[in-house]
């Protein structure tokens, strides 16, 4: 989003260009998600887990194991293998997987899903898995392309009578001025390019490039001549491009195989794969067939052989993996052994459980033994009272809550008795209660009252009698 005001220039600005948004619209408060305090694995440069780093407390063994996996993924030695995180509910399995994705950075594709996502009435179960795997394989394409690049100095659509309706006018062409350090150039461009520019919300002062043979327009950022003095802004400022306006430029694009499949499954497909990439869009669920995937693979392989593209294997994370059934598990085995497989991270909180889709197969974690055999297994441990206290404090900071004396100890105690998640969850309602009482910090009494209103999982389970009903009376 652009927050800078439009500079006043003599050039007329496109009549239907977006008005600059008011400053108030930039003042957003971000939502606090259950894992927003997790920023990474919190490791020393040697790969050892800090007792308290990047929002992670304790769980050092599991974090170090994950750090090894991160290293292996980065050096591309872990594709086609699987890491299985097991442990009791609330011990940080999901948090660990998210931390791994933070550590890998944004360039490595990370495709998270939950086991139950495979159950859809529209798509086959195995299809959902196959798609997730495709979305986790990145492709970095380096291309040298002929482009026009520069800072927009002029953007004037020329209008003509509409030949079709007699009313109104249409844009016949657009005059675009581009400036670089070396010079300026005025281009007369097709109205479709003008539309693309409107879509990218390009205004005078932006640095853009236009691909010469496809007409694709890309906004690089705002020219730093227009940089404002705000401290916090979502705008990226870029220097005035060097060289001529018309030149050959090396472009790097990151796409996933899933993107390519989707782009080519669109009905108007049939174009060259590279040109389709420029116009990647979220398409509806048109069928991606196995045949199409093979074709995409073939083209991709061609580009890799030519040195144009580089494959970046990413990560598929399947949370609550015990929700998959036996068909999915066998398919997962096959996917893991395919030549272009990403790294797979699985997480489950089950002990011995029946494998879904079978009647009598009970296996550890509800996962068939042949898949278990392919996994490296990492266990997350239960937390001590001090560790729970630290996490609760972290959460209180993230949520902007103040804790009165003794509250932390009390919550840690609750966490030890119930679970870490229960202790964390008590924070927000307790803060509402203290707010109602006109206080700005949470007191021990608030927690006590909360405990009367809400039950933790273990207490609730105890309340249920052995006959499955409630002790206190009938349902
Ligand atoms: N070591 C830790 N340091 C900081 N926060 C943690 C840690 N472990 C867990 N948390 C936080 O505790 C909450 C519960 O953890 P998480 O959701 O990762 O548990 P889980 O193991 O995935 O549980 P489940 O098996 O029920 O899915 C989350 O808000 C998480 O961010
Ligand atoms: Mg979880």
Residue 57 confidence (pLDDT): 87
150 and 248 share a domain? Answer: yes
Nearest ligand atom owner, CA of 92: 1
308 and 367 share a domain? Answer: yes
* Phi, psi (rounded to 5 degrees) for 379: -105, 135
Region of 371 (left: φ > 0; alpha: ψ -120 to 50; beta: rest) is: alpha
Residue 271 lies inside a defined structural domain of this protein:
no
Nearest ligand atom owner, CA of 90: 1
Provide the 8-state DSSP code for 20: P
113 and 209 share a domain? Answer: no
Distance of CA 176 to the CA centre of its chain: 35
User: How many A from CA of 147 to the centre of ligand 2?
Assistant: 47
User: How many A from CA of 95 to the centre of ligand 2?
Assistant: 7
- H-state helical runs in 347-438: 369-372, 385-399, 407-417, 420-436
User: How many A from CA of 231 to the centre of ligand 1?
Assistant: 34
Which residues have CB less than 5 Å away from ligand 2 (the ion)? Answer: 94
User: How many A from CA of 218 to the centre of ligand 1?
Assistant: 40
Nearest ligand 1 atom to the CA of 92 is: 18
User: Ligand 1: residues within 6 Å at CB?
Assistant: 34-35, 38, 55-59, 87, 89-95, 349, 391, 420-421, 424
H or E element that contains 220:
strand 217-223
Residue 186 lies inside a defined structural domain of this protein:
yes
- Three-state SS for 313? strand
CA angle 255, 258, 264 (to 5 degrees): 90
Nearest ligand 1 atom to the CA of 35 is: 31
User: How many A from CA of 58 to the centre of ligand 1?
Assistant: 12
- Three-state SS for 303? helix
The C-alpha atoms of residue 365 and residue 236 are separated, in whole angstroms, by: 47
Residue 73 confidence (pLDDT): 86
133 and 157 share a domain? Answer: no
Segments forming the whole domain that contains residue 358: 52-137+290-379
Nearest ligand 1 atom to the CA of 56 is: 3
The C-alpha atoms of residue 392 and residue 404 are separated, in whole angstroms, by: 13
Residue 274 confidence (pLDDT): 52
User: How many A from CA of 424 to the centre of ligand 1?
Assistant: 10
User: How many A from CA of 343 to the centre of ligand 1?
Assistant: 22
Dihedral angle of Cα 328, 333, 335, 339, to the nearest 10 degrees = 180
Domain count, the chain: 3
Atom 6 of ligand 1, residue of closest alpha carbon: 92
177 and 126 share a domain? Answer: no
Residue 4 confidence (pLDDT): 41
Q: For a pocket test of ligand 1, which of 85, 96, 421, 422 has the largest count of ligand atoms closer than 8 A to its C-beta?
A: 421
Q: For a pocket test of ligand 1, which of 36, 61, 85, 420 has the largest count of ligand atoms closer than 8 A to its C-beta?
A: 420
70 and 132 share a domain? Answer: yes
CATH number at residue 191: 2.40.50.360
Nearest ligand atom owner, CA of 98: 1
Residue 113 lies inside a defined structural domain of this protein:
yes
Atom 29 of ligand 1, residue of closest alpha carbon: 34
User: How many A from CA of 114 to the centre of ligand 2?
Assistant: 9
Residue 196 lies inside a defined structural domain of this protein:
yes
Residue positions counted in the chain: 475
Residue ending a domain, among 338, 359, 379, is 379
User: How many A from CA of 93 to the centre of ligand 2?
Assistant: 6
Q: What is the DSSP string of 48-63?
A: PBPSEETTEES-HHHH
147 and 248 share a domain? Answer: yes
Residue 33 lies inside a defined structural domain of this protein:
no
233 and 153 share a domain? Answer: yes
Residue ending a domain, among 349, 379, 409, is 379
Q: For a pocket test of ligand 1, which of 94, 321, 322 has the largest count of ligand atoms closer than 8 A to its C-beta?
A: 94
Residue 16 lies inside a defined structural domain of this protein:
no
The C-alpha atoms of residue 88 and residue 380 are separated, in whole angstroms, by: 7
CATH number at residue 336: 3.40.50.300
The C-alpha atoms of residue 158 and residue 451 are separated, in whole angstroms, by: 69
CATH number at residue 395: 1.10.8.60
172 and 248 share a domain? Answer: yes
Residue ending a domain, among 230, 252, 274, is 252
107 and 149 share a domain? Answer: no
Nearest ligand 1 atom to the CA of 380 is: 21
Residue 6 lies inside a defined structural domain of this protein:
no
Region of 419 (left: φ > 0; alpha: ψ -120 to 50; beta: rest) is: beta
Residue 86 lies inside a defined structural domain of this protein:
yes
Q: Residue for token digits 């795997």?
A: 133
Distance of CA 368 to the CA centre of its chain: 30
Residue 293 confidence (pLDDT): 87
Q: Residues with Cβ < 8 Å from 234, sequence gap 6 or more?
A: 1, 3, 26
Provide the 8-state DSSP code for 97: H
Per-residue pLDDT of the chain (475 residues; tens, 9 = 90+): 444 444 433 334 344 433 333 333 333 344 567 787 888 888 888 878 888 888 888 888 999 999 998 988 888 888 778 999 999 888 889 989 989 988 888 888 999 999 999 998 888 888 899 999 999 999 998 888 899 999 999 998 888 777 776 677 788 889 999 999 988 999 998 888 888 898 888 989 999 999 888 888 888 888 888 877 666 667 788 889 888 889 888 888 888 998 888 877 765 544 455 555 545 544 444 567 888 888 888 888 998 998 888 888 889 999 999 999 999 999 999 999 888 889 999 999 998 989 998 888 899 999 999 999 989 999 999 888 888 999 988 888 888 888 888 888 888 988 888 888 888 888 888 888 888 888 888 888 888 888 888 888 888 888 886 666 665 444 4
* Phi, psi (rounded to 5 degrees) for 175: -100, 120
């Amino acid at each position: 989003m652009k927050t800078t005001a439009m500079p006043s220039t003599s050039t007329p600005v496109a009549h239907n260009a977006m008005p600059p948004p008011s400053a108030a619209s930039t003042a957003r408060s971000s939502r606090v998600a259950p894992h927003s305090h997790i920023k990474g694995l919190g490791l020393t440069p040697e790969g050892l887990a800090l007792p308290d780093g990047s929002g992670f407390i304790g769980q050092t063994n599991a974090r170090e194991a994950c750090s090894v996996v991160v290293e292996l993924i980065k050096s591309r030695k872990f594709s086609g293998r699987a890491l299985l995180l097991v442990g009791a509910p609330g011990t940080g399995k999901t948090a660990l997987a998210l931390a791994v994705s933070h550590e890998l950075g944004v360039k490595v594709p990370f495709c998270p899903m939950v086991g139950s996502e495979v159950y859809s009435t529209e798509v086959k179960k195995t299809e959902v898995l196959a798609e997730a795997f495709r979305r986790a394989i990145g492709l970095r394409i380096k291309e040298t392309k002929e482009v026009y690049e520069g800072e927009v100095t002029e953007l004037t659509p020329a209008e003509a009578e509409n030949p079709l309706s007699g009313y109104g006018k249409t844009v016949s062409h657009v005059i675009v001025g581009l400036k670089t350090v070396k010079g300026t150039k005025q281009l007369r461009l097709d109205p479709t390019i003008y539309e693309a520019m409107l879509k990218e919300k390009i205004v005078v002062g932006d640095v853009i490039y236009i691909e010469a043979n496809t007409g694709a327009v890309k906004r690089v950022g705002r020219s730093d001549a227009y940089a404002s003095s705000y401290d916090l802004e979502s705008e990226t400022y870029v220097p005035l491009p060097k060289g001529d306006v018309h030149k050959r430029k090396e472009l790097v694009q990151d796409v996933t195989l899933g993107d390519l499949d989707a782009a080519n499954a669109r009905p108007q497909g049939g174009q060259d794969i590279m040109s389709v990439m420029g116009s990647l869009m979220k398409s509806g669920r048109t069928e991606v067939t196995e045949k199409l995937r093979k074709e995409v693979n073939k083209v991709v392989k061609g580009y890799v052989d030519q040195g144009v593209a580089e494959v970046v294997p990413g990560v598929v994370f399947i949370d609550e993996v015990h929700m998959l059934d036996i068909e999915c598990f066998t398919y997962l085995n096959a996917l893991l052994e395919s030549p272009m497989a990403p790294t797979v991270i699985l997480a489950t909180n089950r002990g011995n459980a029946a494998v879904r889709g079978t009647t009598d197969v009970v296996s550890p974690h509800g996962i068939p033994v042949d898949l278990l055999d392919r996994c490296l297994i990492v266990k997350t441990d239960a937390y001590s009272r001090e560790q729970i206290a630290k996490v609760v404090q972290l959460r209180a900071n993230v949520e902007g809550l103040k804790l009165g004396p003794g509250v932390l100890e009390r919550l840690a105690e609750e966490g030890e008795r119930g679970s870490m998640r229960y202790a964390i969850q008590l924070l927000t309602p307790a803060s509402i209660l203290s707010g109602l009482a006109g206080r700005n910090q949470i007191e021990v009494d608030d927690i006590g009252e909360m405990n009367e209103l809400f039950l933790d999982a273990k207490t609730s389970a105890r309340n249920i009698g052995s006959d499955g009903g409630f002790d206190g009376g009938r349902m």
